[in-house]
Amino acid sequence: MPPLRLRLTRLARDARGASMIELGLFAPVLAVMVMGIGDVAMGYSRKLTLEQAAYRVLERVAVGSVQTDYTYLKAEAAAAAGVPESNVTVDNWLECDGVRQAQFDGICPDGQMISRYVQIAIAGSYRPVFSAGPLARRYNGADGNVPISVSTALRIQ
């Protein structure tokens, strides 16, 4: 049996297990990166869901006729986005030569360009799976959710 010093010298020169040690050191870093990318992707998917809901509602406005009351869109947008109705805002306004008017159903003086708009704003949130670390503390709200909001408008006349 070789002395302890000789065995330690051979072990120090042996490189057969180096790749396993490197993998063991790198695997946790890689796993955290993959989980973080997945978390960001799910948050972005939530944002796209809210945007799609807003666009669907405005598409319904585009194919219909001009009305004075668009509050019915609130329930449709909330259902499509999966949020409460209180998180949806519907705004409509009239512009005469680019100046916003007080009444949507008013008229513009002769010679001025008339524009009517409908805007949908939806507020939602996303709860990250991994809500720890400096990025989570920066972007998460007090309840641990990341706030997401979308807003889109359509000129209807």
Taking the model in full, what pTM does it have? 0.75
- The whole-number pLDDT of residue 141 equals 60
Question: Is pLDDT above 60 for 16?
Answer: yes
- Give CA–CA dist 59/106, Å, rounded: 24
Count of Cβ atoms closer than 10 Å to residue 13 Cβ: 7
Break the chain into its structural domains and give their ranges. 16-155
For 56-112, what is each residue's pLDDT tens digit? 999 988 887 777 788 888 999 999 999 999 999 999 888 888 888 888 888 888 888
CA distance 51 to 82: 12
Collect contacts of 56-61 with beta carbons under 8 A, ≥24 apart.
56/80, 57/120, 58/118, 58/120, 58/152, 58/153, 58/154, 61/118, 61/154, 61/156
pLDDT in tens, 17-68: 778 888 899 999 999 889 888 888 988 999 999 999 999 999 988 887 777 7
